[in-house]
Amino acid sequence: MDDQPERAYEHAQAACRRAGRVDIVREAVGLTAYATGRFAEALRELRTARRLSGHDAHRAIEADCERGLGRPERALALFAAPESATLVVEERVELALVASGARLDLGEPDAALAVLEEQDVSGLSDPDLLARVAEAKAGVLDVLDRHEDSLLVLAAAGLSVDGDDAVVVLDLEDEDDLEDDGGEDAVADQVDPTGVTKDESR
């Protein structure tokens, strides 16, 4: 799916033709549809997988699909739903990244920043996710013309801005950091200052 998302989607479709009532098969269809920008299909399939399995593991991706379909209000509704409060911290933060992007979609950068600042990331151990949160905050601060604050956020996270093109790079200090500086789904994650896919639609 990372290297050949379209091919992965074809495999998932083949599996669905053979075992369409199996939850992990529908999940695979949803995830590969998301990776290839088929947001309506991804949303439908991930909801089907949730009904079949009883597990709500992809709420952030569902919200990002709503953004991709031009419905940021629905993404925010997913973020505000009571069920979202029961997510583990990593899933909650992923969802917050999408919600922040949805606020930007609506032209509400102050609210986008508030969403990120309300998140408690002290329990996060994933350096890539921590970096994306910092990059998302920095991106929103730049939208607010708070460029010095943006640089401070990046510096505090061990990130730096390299060169005139303002490319954010990790401050690599050891091999573990190098391994973590990989990529992401993210699909998303693409163009949006939240770092979420876009995917992302993200």
pLDDT tens column, 69-95: 999 999 999 999 998 988 999 999 999
In eight-state DSSP terms, residue 164 is: T
Pair 29, 50: CB distance under 8 Å = no
Q: 132, 84, 137: which is closest to 109 by C-alpha?
A: 137
Q: Which two tokens stand for residue 46?
A: 């991930």
Question: If pLDDT is split at 50, 70 and 90, which confidence band does 135 have?
Answer: very high
Residues of the chain with pLDDT > 70, as a percent, come to: 79
Pair 10, 1: CB distance under 8 Å = no
Rounded to whole angstroms, how far apart are CA atoms 10 and 159? Answer: 38
Tell me: the pLDDT tens digits for 22-62? 999 999 999 999 999 999 999 999 999 999 999 888 999 99
In the chain, domain spans = 1-55
Can you give the pTM of this predicted structure?
0.77
For residue 192, pLDDT beyond 70: no
For residue 156, pLDDT beyond 60: yes
In this prediction, residue 4 carries a pLDDT of 97
In this prediction, residue 130 carries a pLDDT of 95
- Reported residue count of the chain is 202
For residue 175, pLDDT beyond 60: no
For the domain made up of 1-55, give the CATH fold: 1.25.40
Q: What are phi and psi of 31, to 5 degrees?
A: -70, -40
CB atoms within 10 A of CB 101: 33
In this prediction, residue 162 carries a pLDDT of 60
Pair 161, 147: CB distance under 8 Å = no
For residue 113, pLDDT beyond 60: yes
